[in-house]
Structure 1
Amino acid sequence: MTFGTGDINGIGVFWDKHGDDTYLSLLEPAYGQSRLEGVTGLRELMLTLGLFVDGGGKDNYLLLPETDPQNKLPDTALNTQSLATNPVAGNDRTWCRPTKPRYVKMAYGCGIDAQ
């Protein structure tokens, strides 16, 4: 889970007011997502919300290579020029995504990167 994740009927908010930022994630979805596991009974009726807000600046959303089975950062410096761009989150974009691992009616994940 990364920035702005709502997990199991919780609310997660990430807010960066302004500035030029580089965000790194190992997997997509990232940046404003909701997650539920073992949904039964009331859990499916209660809100789970993940919200990611970047208020401005020139930002980069990059995906780290999936080479380490323990999802650790490499010991050496990263060359960000060689990393893939996140296919959903991005500079000057708005995005919403379904709940992981499956769609649940009261679970939402959204993000915005404002100009």
Structure 2
Amino acid sequence: MKTSYQSKNRKIELKIVGYDEPNNGRELHIAEVYICGENLSHKYFENKWNRLNFNLNEFQFESPDSEYIFIPAEGNSFLINTSSFSIIKLPYKALSTIRFKKNEFFENGIRIYYSDETIEINLSEND
């Protein structure tokens, strides 16, 4: 499994730095977000909960046009705009690590697949 994801322009990096199991069977990655080499995890992860969904087998980190980075945070996944470094919060999905399957970027949007639903977000409406 990869332990580091880096944007094409090398300004944004997601590092998997550990493992957590806060309760029986709920496996999570512990992660940090670096912008231009500075650890800004405290700015991007809500309530300092820097835990990621455990299943990252089909996780797409960066959009094909390199405009967005997807961070599959447990419960509170988000996108980072690579130009402004602003955050786009995605709909809350409690205990998402149990349900997260994959994500994929498409023209002007992102789809996030969970075992019980698919969420589609039009990114042109969020700029």
What is the TM-score normalised by the length of structure 2?
0.23
More helix by share: 2
Higher relative contact order, structure no. (Cα contacts within 8 Å, ≥ 6 residues apart): 1
More strand by share: 2
What is the TM-score normalised by the length of structure 1?
0.24
Larger Rg: 1
